Amino acid sequence: MGKVAVGAAVVCAAAVCAAAALVVRHRMRSSGKWARAMAVLREFEEKCSTPIGKLKQVADAMTVEMQAGLASEGGSKLKMLISYVDNLPTGDEKGLFYALDLGGTNFRVLRVQLGGKSGRVVKQEFDEVSIPPHLMTASSEALFDFIAAALAKFVAEEGEGFHPAPGRQRELGFTFSFPVRQLSISSGTLIKWTKGFNIQDTVGQDVVAELTRAMERIGLDMRVAALVNDTIGTLAGGRYTNQDVVAAVILGTGTNAAYVERAHAIPKWHGLLPKSGEMVINMEWGNFRSSHLPLTEYDQGLDVESLNPGEQIFEKMISGMYLGDIVRRVLCKMAEEAEFFGDTVPQNLKVPFILRTPDMSAMHHDTSPDLKVVASKLKDILEISNTSLKMRKTIVELCDIVATRGARLSAAGILGILKKLGRDTVKDGEKQKSVIALDGGLYEHYTKFRSSMEKTLKELLGEEVAANILIEHSNDGSGIGAALLAASHSQYLEVEEP
């Protein structure tokens, strides 16, 4: 073999060795990055853990805060607002009742004909109306005149099957999903607008009086019988179909709970005790916080950058508005510290709330062998393509960690309410059923969240007690529930009672 050939062979061998070393180095580097990404995920998983012992501590803390909030105004992070609803529907209600549901940029008007125990909801109709954007920042009069006009138009279309009682005023339940200081069953002053509304001359005013004046201006003869929020509407709708309903929980974009309390167990109530002996309490449970909540650096980051830092901590861990963004924040850290998506951090990954909870749910429920849905969501929303199956599986696991923590904490909150009511144990020989009415898009559409929550509640209660606790989906509480509350607080009830 000539010297040239030997030289060439040596050079060749050196090149092969160098290439092999590069490959090994690249593999070591990428496996090092993967290990770093996994370390971020595992640390997050550990901080999110919700063993049964911890959940029971959360439930106990919820019960303690409930008691403190009932004892005095401002005594707790939970407002425990007195709703003045002391008559929940029984199923005996009869007649034609209306509801107005105002909670965002659209409002709904609804009518129901109730037929008592035998007929129940004989017929119902509703209409949805968009509020022109300029009215959301105009004057109080302009907004309520617009709403009253839509209501009058809806009343004018009353057709077959709806029978207003002769000589009686029509009655309306008003669901108003903004912060209100309730003064009675049919009055409350606006504390502040949210959700894009900003009409200064309504703040501090009684919203029922505003609506009533607007109806009078156009000659619409209708009385607002009940002013409620969507959670109390859900409780009323649930109770109408099932008398064992003791509480309602909304798990949607936001979250809240309401329940039926014994009136004598409310120290801050100074009025006459209601005849029923009961009072519905609007907990505003989204504002619950406790040292037992498994908060992470990502929750703290989300809170600091939110519109209401330090408030609604429980809501920020469990509701649909925030779950997707927690996933995004963890992915962002994996991208920054471990180059999870390559050398650069994808720009869209830095945009708050770009990853919505419905998208997170779609990825979490992806059953295709190559996780096609995950791939398309990453591409369409975050503009990340060329992901490996291993990466996509990791993202599904991250969705599972966030959803499971939220679901299990929701279950702990429900246990807290059952404890406050003394319904978390089985009394000797007693088989009292307790039903929780649930509504909201997160509960309705995020299947893995729902089943994790229900499974956790059973686990927390134990088999024997769990057999007496039921969760029921109470659809459209905020609409029909408000009409039912107008019926159960009708001015004509006394007339009809023998």
Q: What angle do CA 76, 250, 123 make, to 5 degrees?
A: 135
SS (H, E, C) the chain: CCHHHHHHHHHHHHHHHHHHHHHHHHHHHHHHHHHHHHHHHHHHHHHCCCCHHHHHHHHHHHHHHHHHHHHCCCCCCCCCEECCCCCCCCCCCEEEEEEEEECCCEEEEEEEEEEHHHHCEEEEEEEEEECCHHHHHCCHHHHHHHHHHHHHHHHHCCCCCCCCCCCCCEEEEEEECCCEEEEECCEEEECCCCCCCCCHHHCCCEHHHHHHHHHHHCCCCEEEEEEECHHHHHHHHHHHHCCCEEEEEEECCCEEEEEEEEHHHCCCCCCCCCCCCEEEEECCHHHCCCCCCCCCHHHHHHHHCCCCCCCCHHHHHHCCCCHHHHHHHHHHHHHHHHCCCCCCCCHHHHCCCCCCHHHHHHHHCCCCCCCHHHHHHHHHHHCCCCCCHHHHHHHHHHHHHHHHHHHHHHHHHHHHHHHHCCCCCCCCCCCCCEEEEEECHHHHHCHHHHHHHHHHHHHHHCHHHHCCEEEEECCCHHHHHHHHHHHHCCCCHHHHCC
Which of 177, 290, 452, 474 is the catalytic position? 177
Active-site annotation holds for 108:
yes
Give dist(CA 468, CA 7) in Å, integer: 86
Active-site annotation holds for 230:
yes
The token duo for 329 is 């924040």
Which of 76, 86, 101, 108 is the catalytic position? 108
Amino acid identity at 54? K
Residue 204 backbone dihedrals phi, psi, to 5 degrees? 85, -5
The token duo for 200 is 């200064």
If we measure between CA atoms, which residue out of 249, 227, 230 comes closest to residue 172?
Answer: 227
Contact criterion met (CB below 8 Å) for 62 and 410: no
Tell me how far CA of residue 83 lies from CA of 39, 316, 381, in angstroms: 48, 24, 42
Which of 86, 101, 206, 230 is the catalytic position? 230
Contact criterion met (CB below 8 Å) for 461 and 52: no
The token duo for 496 is 């009809």
Active-site annotation holds for 177:
yes
What residues are annotated to the active site?
108, 177, 230
